[in-house]
Chains A and B, each alone.
Chain A
Amino acid sequence: MSETKAFEPKIIAFVCNWCTYLGADLAGTSRLEYPANVRLVRLPCTGRIDFNLLIKAFEMKADAVLVSGCHPGDCHYTSGNYHARRRWMLFRDLLDLLGFDMRRIYFSWISGAEGHKFRQVITEITEETRKLGPYKLYEGKPVAYPKFSETVMPLGDFSTEAEMRSTARTLLSDGSVQVVIGYGERGPVFVTHAKDAGKLVWNRNCLTNLTAYLKRKEIKALGKAAIVVKGCDERALLVLEQESQIERENLHVIGMACEGLGIPKCAGCMVRQPRFADEVIGTAKPAEAIDHYAALDVLMAMSPEERMGFWAEQFDRCQRCYACRQVCPMCFCEQCLTDKNQPQEIDTSATRKGIFAWQIMRAFHQAGRCVGCGECTRVCPVGIDLWALNLALERSAEKNFGYKAGMEKSAGSLIGAYSTRDKEEFIQ
């Protein structure tokens, strides 16, 4: 009992320089007393508060975390807090799926004139956290592997192989492209001569999302490219174009109609027929729609401790081989944050702490960008259910913002934009 009484929660508050910090200052100069449990970290703007800092705070034994900034409309930089609001909405859903204790993560708007509100919020968080006790991060209840519904794995026919080869041959021989990025017998191939077009194949092993190669300098050096895409891969092209990573007019897209490769992601595929390719080879019957998010409900039906246990068990296997990152078309940064070591923001060690930080970062950097091609999950050598992290963010984007990445050509970026009408029930 005496130990429980002695527990003093440690609360880290990330506050913006212009409003909440001034609010805290006002509380001080007004002699308003508030619990000394809070440590303020002053940053320019809530829009600039890196989500990794929240994780870092918990790693460093925080029992609760607060992010607080200017009221909507009051941002010193006009819209930083609107961007923050949208980002935190998505981030909360990711943390929830991972089994974080959401009762320890707070958001508020406190202006420079609201010294009293600062006191009230801090007092409330301190009291609530004191009741919860110390936070044992990444300790969950071990669980049996959940029963996701039986997956149907549709498999189409691949009779359009010859047509694809002849298309490639024509493109190369008339000089419209210098290289065709396609599938070969063993894996991806880069065909540079018309006579080698026969090396291209179209079969159930054509799994790789080839758009991941468009970022590579060795491939760019080969000249103007044609690329073979399935409908699912094509979604990535839309996002890459939106993010100015490719010049669509300098790329020839050969779309392959596809009725499935016999793997789980093909169930309920809504993009069997490529929609924006320069030419589409074959016709695919539409798939029967399924509820992709049902699998998330299975996870969300568990308690947070069980979800954390589920992920801890999975992440303990992670080797930090970064195959998930390397195979991802959306991971095009020249230098990944985890490879930056001055300072090292994400631990490189394959410890529970390092792996959680890495996987959280990887997943969240895909928020509103992941097109669900599932390559990360396919290549993971240790079989981590990475799809579930991506899916949670996809659901959050769809539910909260009616947004799905790589579906519409005219759509802007989700994270790079905001609306003054975005939801904010989670903010005090």
Chain B
Amino acid sequence: MSEIISQDLLRQCVGEWLAAGKRVAGPRQVSWNRVLYAPLKTPSELLLDLNERPVNSIKEFFFPKHEQLYGYKIEGNDIRLTDPEETLPEQVILGGRPCDAAALPILDHIFNWDFKDSQYNARRAVTTIVTVACTTHDDACFCTSVGLAPTAERGSDAILLPLGDGSYEVRCETEKGKTLFAGKTTPSDKTATEYAGPEKKIDPAKVGAFARDHFEDPLWQQQTLACLGCGICAYNCPTCHCFDIVDEGNAAGGERARNWDSCQFPLFTLHASGHNPRNSQPNRQRQRVYHKFHIYPEKFGEVLCTGCGSCTRNCPAGLGIVGITTEISHG
């Protein structure tokens, strides 16, 4: 026996959640050729039955591209600090992929390691994640290479498996998921067929070992010469989490804020002396691979990658993790 929900009913639920003041986010068409995970204003904006993966990842609902840490006001000799003005409504993230959801337990390590990040944790606490299992993949997908699958439930509060007739089998994984769908699903004898996903494309252990043992290998340069040095791979990666702390404002007031940052920018490692230890784009791309497949596993026991393929799919120069590491994996 399984529990199922129809698409119509799912949209109706979205309407109810929105009416209850929750922030609901899911895949939305934002321009003629882009689909992003974005907050929804109406249930009809939610795109289900998507074949392609949205460009961005759901991490921005926990770790936004810009967030205020505190504000300041200066009046005469008086300096006043203020807490961030953000209110945290309950969030439902609907329609993310298993490779998005799986990133959150991975990110939990870094945001709770030596310092418990209150803003990240607060957002995690108020958010329910409902993923939709994949029934197709594209050339960039490689979840199976990092131990995930199109139906992997890791990080999801509930996972919806398409039945092919416009309805979904609902598997609630946590209390949050059960609460969200309580009374909304109907029992059925239909069960979804689990899609196998892409063939394994890279070998994370081999990539990590290569990064450790062949740090100066010419392969890094050969594989990454085309890198233009933008932040698309890092910013749209579900697991990349580097940030910059900035003070912005003027003599009267302003804020201290946390912004996304990327190891692909020269400024990321530029020293005050003018020296830059990672002084070329191939060095910076190597760092990205090294961090994901060697540093992170060494520190937290798992790779910093969910195989979503966003870096490959969106790279203006056709690189990305798969492109760079395929040769290493098969070499």
Contact = CB atoms under 8 A, between A and B. Distances in A.
Contact of B318 (A186, A217, A314, A350): A186
Contact of B225 (A190, A327, A351): A190
Interface in A184-224: 184, 186-190, 208, 212-213, 216-219
Nearest to B272: A342
Contacts of B319: 186-187
A217 B257 contact: no
A322 B231 contact: yes
Interface in B19-57: 30-34, 36, 38, 55-56
Interface stretch (B80-88, B243-251, B290-298): B243-251
B248 A349 contact: yes
A348 interface: yes
Contacts of B226: 187-190, 213
Interface in B254-271: 257, 259-260, 262, 265-267
A11 B46 CA distance: 45
Given A320-B259, A381-B56, A326 B235 contact: no
A342 to B, nearest CB: 10
A219 B225 CA distance: 8
A326 B246 contact: no
Interface in B272-306: 280-282
A382 B282 contact: no
A383 B318 contact: no
Nearest to B262: A321
A187 B235 contact: no
Interface in A318-343: 319-323, 325-327, 339
B227 to A, nearest CB: 9
Contacts of A60: 250
B314 interface: yes
Contact of A320 (B31, B231, B248, B282): B231
Chain B: number of interface residues, binned into ranges: 35 or more
B31 A381 contact: no
Given A186-B318, A208-B316, A381-B55, A350 B259 contact: yes
A212 B31 contact: no
Which of B30, B38, B317, B323 is the most central at the interface, judged by chain A CB atoms within 10 Å of its CB? B317
Given A322-B265, A382-B36, A218 B281 contact: yes
A350 B65 contact: yes
A379 interface: yes
Contacts of B33: 383
B316 A350 contact: no
A319 B260 CA distance: 8
Contact of B231 (A186, A317, A321): A321
B259 A349 contact: yes
A344 interface: yes
B214 interface: no
Interface in B231-253: 231-232, 234-236, 244, 246, 248, 250
A356 to B, nearest CB: 14
B230 interface: yes
A90 to B, nearest CB: 26
Contacts of A317: 30, 36, 38
Interface string B203-242: 0000000000000000001000110111110111000000
A327 B228 contact: yes
B317 A187 contact: yes
A382 B230 contact: no
Given A319-B231, A348-B259, A187 B318 contact: yes
B40 to A, nearest CB: 15
Which of A217, A219, A319, A348 is the most central at the interface, judged by chain B CB atoms within 10 Å of its CB? A319
B65 A382 contact: no
A333 to B, nearest CB: 12
B190 interface: no
Given A218-B282, A317-B30, A385-B31, A379 B259 contact: no
A350 B66 contact: yes
Interface residues of A, number: 41
A41 to B, nearest CB: 14
B18 interface: no
B315 interface: yes
A320 B260 contact: yes
B142 to A, nearest CB: 15
Contacts of B260: 319-320, 350
A81 to B, nearest CB: 29
Contacts of A114: none
Interface in A347-362: 347-351, 354
Given A188-B317, A349-B248, A350-B65, A379 B232 contact: yes
A349 B66 contact: yes
Which of B232, B236, B267 is the most central at the interface, judged by chain A CB atoms within 10 Å of its CB? B232
A381 B311 CA distance: 11
Contacts of A385: 31
Interface string B61-74: 00001100000000
A46 B317 CA distance: 41
Given A320-B259, A327-B230, A383 B315 contact: no
Nearest to A188: B226
A216 B282 CA distance: 12
Nearest to A263: B33
Interface in A26-57: none
A176 B260 CA distance: 45
B31 A327 contact: no
A208 B317 contact: yes
Nearest to A384: B31
Contact of A326 (B55, B228, B280): B228
Interface of A: 60, 145, 184, 186-190, 208, 212-213, 216-219, 314, 317, 319-323, 325-327, 339, 344, 347-351, 354, 375, 378-379, 381-385
Interface of B: 30-34, 36, 38, 55-56, 65-66, 221, 225-226, 228-232, 234-236, 244, 246, 248, 250, 257, 259-260, 262, 265-267, 280-282, 314-319, 323
Given A187-B318, A382-B31, 7 more contacts: A213-B226, A323-B230, A339-B265, A348-B246, A349-B248, A354-B248, A385-B31
User: Lowest 9 CB-CB distances: which A-B pairs, in order?
Assistant: A187-B318, A383-B34, A383-B31, A323-B230, A321-B231, A186-B318, A379-B316, A326-B230, A326-B228
29 contacts: A60-B250, A145-B31, A186-B319, A187-B317, A187-B323, A188-B226, A188-B317, A190-B226, A208-B317, A212-B228, A314-B31, A317-B36, A317-B38, A319-B231, A319-B260, A321-B234, A323-B230, A323-B316, A339-B267, A347-B246, A348-B244, A348-B259, A349-B246, A350-B260, A354-B66, A381-B56, A381-B236, A382-B55, A383-B30
